[in-house]
Structure 1
Amino acid sequence: MTRVLHVLDHSLPLHSGYTFRTRAIMTAQAASGLDVRGITGLRHLADGPAAEVADGLLFHRTAGTASGPAGVREWREVARLSDAIMEVGRDWRPDVLHAHSPALCGLAAVRAGRALGIPVVYEIRAFWEDAAVGNGTGRAGSVKYRLTRALENRVVGEADSVFTICNGLRDDLVARGFDGGRIGISPNGVDMGLFGDPPPRDDGLGAELGIPADAPVIGFIGSFYDYEGLDDLISAMPRLIDRHPGARLLLVGGGPMGDALRAQAASSPASDTIVFTGRVPHAEVERYYSLIDVLAYPRKASRLTELVTPLKPLEAMAQGRIVAASDVGGHRELIANGLTGSLFTPDDPAACADALADLIDSQSGWPCQRARARAEVAANHDWALNVHRYQVVYHHLISQASGIGLSAVA
Structure 2
Amino acid sequence: MDVSDLRVAIFSGNYNYVRDGANQALNRLADYLLRQGAAVRVYSPTSKTPAFEPKGDLVSLPAIPIPGRPEYKIGTMIPPSVKRDIADFQPNIIHVSSPDVTGHRAVSLARRWDLPVIASVHTRFETYPRYYGMAFLEPAVLATLRRFYRRCDAIFAPSDSMAQLLREQRMNYDVGIWTRGIDRDIFQPGRRDLAWRRSLGIKDDEPVVGFTGRLVMEKGLDVFSDAVDRLTKRGVKHRVLIVGKGPARDWFEKRLPDAVFAGYQCGEDLGRAVASMDMLFNPSVTETFGNVTLEAMAAGLPVVAAIATGSESLVTDGVTGRLVRPGAIDLFCEALAHYCTDAEARRAAGEAGFRASQRYGWDAVNHELAEAYMRVIRQHNEGGRQPRSQVP
Q: TM-score range by the shorter chain?
A: 0.7 to 0.9
Q: Of the two, which has the highest radius of gyration?
A: 1
Runs of 4 or more consecutive aligned structure 1 residues displaced over 6 Å after TM superposition: none
Say if 2:118 is the partner of 1:121. yes
Q: TM-score, normalised by structure 1?
A: 0.78
Aligned positions of 1:6-405 closer than 5 A: 6-40=10-44, 44-47=45-48, 54-62=53-61, 64=62, 77-80=76-79, 83=80, 86-131=83-128, 133=129, 136=132, 139-142=134-137, 148-177=141-170, 180=173, 182-192=174-184, 194-203=186-195, 205-237=196-228, 239-240=230-231, 246-266=237-257, 271=258, 274-277=259-262, 279-283=263-267, 284-299=269-284, 304=286, 308-379=288-359, 381-400=360-379, 402=381
Read off the aligned partner of 2:136 and give its amino acid letter: G
Read off the aligned partner of 1:213 and give its amino acid letter: D
Provide the rounded CA distance (Å) in 2 between the counterparts of 1:164 and 1:351: 29
Provide the rounded CA distance (Å) in 1 between the counterparts of 2:171 and 2:35: 33
Give the structure with the larger helix fraction: 1
What runs of 5+ residues in structure 2 fail to find an aligned partner? 66-72, 385-392
Provide the rounded CA distance (Å) in 1 between the counterparts of 2:329 and 2:192: 30
Provide the rounded CA distance (Å) in 2 between the counterparts of 1:312 and 1:84: 38
* CA deviation map 1:26-59 (0-9, x unaligned): 233334443323111xxx351279xxx9254322
Provide the rounded CA distance (Å) in 2 between the counterparts of 1:130 and 1:48: 30
Read off the aligned partner of 1:38 and give its amino acid letter: V
* CA deviation map 1:319-369 (0-9, x unaligned): 222222233344222210121222234323332232122123332344543
Query: How large is the RMSD of aligned CA atoms in angstroms?
Result: 3.4
Read off the aligned partner of 1:260 and give its amino acid letter: W
1:313 is displaced (CA, Å) by: 0.3
Distance 1:57 1:229, change over 3 A: same
Aligned residues: 372
SS in 2 for 1:394: helix
* CA deviation map 1:154-175 (0-9, x unaligned): 2222212222223444334433
1:370 is displaced (CA, Å) by: 3.0
Distance 1:347 1:29, change over 3 A: same
Provide the rounded CA distance (Å) in 1 between the counterparts of 2:135 and 2:232: 37
* CA deviation map 1:79-138 (0-9, x unaligned): 43xx4553232222222111112243432222222344321112222242433x1553x7
1:7 is displaced (CA, Å) by: 0.9
Distance 1:14 1:149, change over 3 A: same
Distance 1:210 1:47, change over 3 A: same
Provide the rounded CA distance (Å) in 2 between the counterparts of 1:393 and 1:290: 34
Q: Is the 8 A contact 1:211 1:248 kept in 2?
A: yes
Provide the rounded CA distance (Å) in 2 between the counterparts of 1:255 and 1:48: 16
Provide the rounded CA distance (Å) in 2 between the counterparts of 1:238 and 1:140: 26
